[in-house]
Amino acid sequence: MTQESGVNWFILKTEPMTFSVDDLREVGTTPWDGVRNFEASKILRQHMAVGDQVFIYHSGRRSQDSPAVVGMGQVVSEAYADPSQWQQEAPGFDPRSTLQRPRWWCRDIAYVRHLGRPIPLAELCRMPELAATRLCQRGNRLSVVPIAASAAARILALGAF
């Protein structure tokens, strides 16, 4: 990363029916596992670092709420092999993963706080700083989205009470 500030920012997508920001608050810290997209996994493994900040995003799938950024978290572990890739019962089971050569990675994410209000995708993407992010590109499926500090600042401004 070329930024001098040191702290990088990301948006982590999750389906609230499966795991919501409220769930994250309840458990405090969770392995952010189940990422099964090579690019997202690579970002998580190679571009994240302990101390980086993340926004929690609820995707709209199977939910009546509009998709929105709802809270903040923090990266609190180095990357490690996602155990669910070896669990036959898990949805993310991958028979091609070996112990010597894992295919998928995760990191522990700690709850920081809810935003003052959910910021809907439509509102986010009206902001020039965010319209340029992959979150706002049509058809985008990346579940770990790097964002610039300026974009993060915009979300924080919108999310203040």
Partner DNA sequence: GCCAACGTTGGC
**Shortest distance (Å) from residue 6 CB to DNA:** 27
Q: For DNA, which is the closer residue by CB, 12 or 72? A: 12
Residue 82 DSSP class: -
Question: Is residue 11 within 8 Å of residue 48, measured between CB atoms?
Answer: no
For the bound state, the minimum distance from the C-beta of residue 5 to DNA, rounded and expressed in Å, comes to 27
Contact present, 32 and 19 (Cβ < 8 Å):
no
By C-beta, is 2 or 64 nearer to DNA? 64
Quick one: DSSP state of residue 48? -
Min dist CB 96 to DNA, Å, is 7
Nearer CB in complex with DNA: 94/129: 94
Chain residues binding DNA by CB under 7 A are 13, 15, 36-39, 59-61, 66-67, 96, 121-122, 137-143
> Minimum Å distance from CB 76 to DNA?
23
Shortest distance, position 21 Cβ to DNA, whole Å: 15
* Closer to DNA by Cβ: residue 5 or 100: 100
Amino acid found at 28 = G
Two structure tokens written together for 105: 């990675």
> What is the sign of the dihedral through the CA atoms of 29, 33, 35 and 38?
positive
Closer of 34 and 76 to DNA (Cβ): 34
Q: Which stretch of DSSP H or E encloses residue 146?
A: strand 144-147
The residues, any chain, with a CB within 8 Å of residue 155's CB and separated by 6 or more, are: 55, 69, 115, 119, 124, 130, 147
